[in-house]
Amino acid sequence: MVGESRWVSTAETVECYWGFNVSELKGSCECGEVTYLVKGPLRPTIACHCTQCRKTSGHYWAATQVPSKHLKLVKDGGLKWFRSSARARRGFCVGCGSSLFWQMDGEGTTSIGSGTLDDLPVGEASVDKHIYVADKGTYYNLSDGLPLFDGW
């Protein structure tokens, strides 16, 4: 099983994490060509309203984050990376279009679309703020009472 797994590669290195245990969560794209395991703790989810996130997701993108070494790709046949800016890339599934990951070069972390996680316990990785609100779409309002930031 381990031998069939792939590891998330950051900009230059491939990190391996061998300590997965019962605290791991599963996630996947919609069609199942990308599946992964992630080890907590998960950062609170941040909802990003920047133009890139809106174009990528079709609305706005909400993601948690972990050290990349805590993310294990179990099946990555559909995973493709798109360089979305000079310093970041986005991972999506070519089979179904799911927007799964975001990585900033050299940070060693991976943002994971919270909606791609399965069986996320209630209260885990809850949304705690909205960022790049200055770039948000004109067709919706934010009224959940969470902090709003024009930038990061």
> With CB under 5 A as the contact rule, which of the stretches 5-13, 77-85, 121-129, 136-144 interacts with Zn ion?
77-85
- In the beta sheet, which residues pair with residue 19? none
User: Smallest gap, in angstroms, from Cβ of residue 21 to Zn ion?
Assistant: 27
Which candidate, 39, 4, 5, 1, places its Cα nearest to that of 19? 39
Strand 61-67 relative to strand 24-28, pairing: unpaired
Q: Residue 108: which residues within 8 A CB-CB, separation 6 or more?
A: 10, 15, 67, 68, 69
Q: Which positions from 27 to 56 touch Zn ion by CB under 5 A, shown as an x/- string?
A: --x-x-x--------------x-x--x---
Determine which residue in the list 96, 104, 127, 148 makes contact with Zn ion, applying CB under 5 A: 96
Strand 61-67 relative to strand 127-131, pairing: unpaired
Beta carbons of 22 and 8 less than 8 angstroms apart:
no
Cβ proximity to Zn ion, 95 vs 108, nearer residue = 95
100 binds Zn ion (CB under 5 A): no
User: Smallest gap, in angstroms, from Cβ of residue 100 to Zn ion?
Assistant: 8
Cβ proximity to Zn ion, 25 vs 48, nearer residue = 48
95 binds Zn ion (CB under 5 A): yes
Q: Residue 76: which residues within 8 A CB-CB, separation 6 or more?
A: 6, 34
Q: Which residues bind Zn ion (CB under 5 A)?
A: 29, 31, 33, 48, 50, 53, 78, 93, 95-96
